[in-house]
Chains A and B, each alone.
Chain A
Amino acid sequence: MKILVCISQVPDTTTKIAFADNNTHFNTQGVTFIINPYDEWYGLVRALELKEAGAATAVHLVTVGKADAEPVIRKALALGGDEAIRIDCDSNDTYMTAAQIAEFAKTGGYDLVLCGKESIDYNNGSVGGMIAELLDMNYVGFAAKIDFAGNTATVTREIDGGEETDACDLPLVVSCQKGMAEARIPNMRGIMAARTKPLKVVAPAAINALSTIVGYEMPPAKTGVKMIAADNMDELVNLLHTEAKVI
């Protein structure tokens, strides 16, 4: 089984978000970029576990981005994986990102494509489903567990108010979330090895974006908290009813 893991670079979770150029661009100045946690902790680490267990023969990493995405993909290689591919284009459109990965994946003979359930910057969670459709593969979203018996995967995924266990055959695309694998920290050997692992740069396919971000906005600031004495919960309930009108 050959696995492709989709890696996205995102601002560190503690980043204070700011915009530039009249709120039309995300201001990346001073921002530290990390591997999207869902891609790293769940997608990538599960792929590595499957390889270590002998279920996978190769783990390749793919990212869609310009050269500034390379430090993050090297970090991912430090955790593990045999080689990485960077598709050399800047994409803020889910279809464009998915179609670029799908075009590349067609040539690689991958049996399993893993991605995070969403990236923590644009929160779409759509790339996995789109790749599955473009490659005519099965798709299971929000998976918390995946195991294999030969060509058949058993996947546990989140559904409304519970979970469901599915069986399906490869080839398969899975979006991963908490539960998939335990987080790992790269060790010095991994970091050294990552320096010499192949990082191929692939030219993008001719695909048009189907959407563009035209502006950003910060949520309205709260006007100030109203403090209520701990022994006056009747007052809180009264305010929630008459002022906030939520109960």
Chain B
Amino acid sequence: MSVIVLAEHAQGVFKKKSLEAVQYAAQIAKAMGTGVTAIAMGNVAEAEMQSLGMYGAQKVLHATDARLDNFNSRAYTKVLVAAAQQEGAKVIVGLHDTTGRAVMPRVAARLQAGMVAGAVSYPDLSNGFVVKKNVFSGKAFAYVNVTSDIKVIGLMPNTFAVVKGEGSATVSNLSVSLSDADFSVKVLQVNKASGSIPLSEAELVVSGGRGMKGPENWYVLEDLAKELGAATACSRPVADSHWRPHGEHVGQTGGTIRPNLYIAVGISGAIQHLAGVNGSKTIVVINKDPEAPFFKAADYGVIGDAMEVVPKLTEAVKKFKASHS
């Protein structure tokens, strides 16, 4: 019996959300009186894998096939299932992100394991295996009891703060024979916005709505985001008008995010938008309309024109950073 966790990395460096997943899996293992084994795919250095010990992993199983550097749902499934069988895993943890959401359901189906996608709590083991998750696009939570022998959890990124501890994980190779058929989806091209922070794992998010008036005004939000080290997001009308790329759309029919800080500028706060962001720990609303419904869902509110308020906020952040460095 053990807990295994998929540790995703980008160019050999484990992502922050993966450290969160490892730490989450370690806590579950502890509660179950067992250990946690992290699974690493493709090219990643031994020292980097050992460092997962600082987040609670006792062991790392390394699937060394270089073809695994590109995500492939069949091949990843094969590796995770092999690791689960080798370790006798009862709980398999991944992230509720583009990779996890493509591979964890396959793993669950293969192992006939019940799955919680988008978990926001540790499992409550006192009466079954009950995990809390977002439902109705953030409008509510459900408690899901997984009744199968093996359980699969997709953890919502940025649910728990990552705490670095002590320790070093033991690394060993996982032997899985992968054939060409396991890589039947071929990657032709990858386009990544360089230097930007992926929205799904951003702790701070600056978001704009129709009140920004047009894409030419976005620089004030980008300046603020840059100063804060935040990602940028937008409301649906903004994405629909092609002011911003669709990937930035948050809300009921866009992405669901739960950053520590969500700054909404010129967004009225329709129920569909709130659904995607109300898991944010702190919400700041900047709007020139004092009647904007978003103020009711906010922690801090500023009534004023975006083009005047946001640059002042950027200046204030700059000043704050200078005095705290």
Q: Are B303 and A160 in contact (CB under 8 A)?
A: no
Given A123-B117, A130-B108, A211-B145, the answer on whether A237 and B192 have CB atoms closer than 8 Å is no
Q: Are B142 and A120 in contact (CB under 8 A)?
A: no
Q: Are B261 and A129 in contact (CB under 8 A)?
A: no
CB nearest to B116 among chain A residues: A211
> B317 within 8 Å of A by Cβ?
yes
Q: How far is the CA of A222 from the CA of B203 in the complex (A)?
A: 20
The minimal Cβ–Cβ distance linking B136 to chain A, given in whole angstroms, is 5
Q: Per-residue 0/1 for B79-121: is the Cβ within 8 Å of any A Cβ (1 yes, 0 no)?
A: 0000000000000000001110111111111101111111000
Q: How far is the CA of A95 from the CA of B118 in the complex (A)?
A: 15
Q: How far is the CA of A165 from the CA of B324 in the complex (A)?
A: 44
**B-contacting 9-mer, from A13-21, A58-66, A83-91:** A13-21
Q: Are A160 and B135 in contact (CB under 8 A)?
A: no
**Neighbour of B198 across the interface among A98, A160, A233, A238, CB < 8 A:** A160
> A93 within 8 Å of B by Cβ?
yes
B-side contacts of A124, CB under 8 Å: 115, 117-118
Q: Are A216 and B189 in contact (CB under 8 A)?
A: no
Q: Are B109 and A133 in contact (CB under 8 A)?
A: yes
Interface centre among B139, B261, B319 (most CB of A within 10 A): B139
Given A215-B142, A246-B281, the answer on whether A158 and B247 have CB atoms closer than 8 Å is yes
> A154 within 8 Å of B by Cβ?
yes
CB nearest to B70 among chain A residues: A164
Q: Are B301 and A237 in contact (CB under 8 A)?
A: no
CB nearest to B74 among chain A residues: A138
**A-contacting 9-mer, from B21-29, B39-47, B59-67, B308-316:** B308-316
Q: Are A13 and B144 in contact (CB under 8 A)?
A: no
> A140 within 8 Å of B by Cβ?
yes
Q: Are A226 and B299 in contact (CB under 8 A)?
A: yes
**Neighbour of A230 across the interface among B97, B204, B309, CB < 8 A:** B309
Q: Are B272 and A13 in contact (CB under 8 A)?
A: yes
Q: How far is the CA of A13 from the CA of B139 in the complex (A)?
A: 10
CB nearest to A219 among chain B residues: B278
**A-contacting 9-mer, from B48-56, B166-174, B208-216, B249-257:** B249-257
> B191 within 8 Å of A by Cβ?
yes
The minimal Cβ–Cβ distance linking B252 to chain A, given in whole angstroms, is 5
B-side contacts of A163, CB under 8 Å: 190-191, 247
Q: How far is the CA of A236 from the CA of B146 in the complex (A)?
A: 43
> B31 within 8 Å of A by Cβ?
no
> B34 within 8 Å of A by Cβ?
no
> A210 within 8 Å of B by Cβ?
yes
A selection of 7 A-B contacts at a CB cut-off of 8 Å is A17-B139, A95-B115, A130-B109, A140-B102, A160-B201, A218-B140, A237-B320
Interface contacts beyond A169-B184, A218-B139, A230-B302: sample of 12 additional A-B pairs, CB < 8 Å, sorted by A:
A11-B136, A126-B104, A126-B115, A129-B101, A159-B99, A214-B130, A216-B141, A228-B300, A228-B301, A230-B309, A234-B319, A237-B313
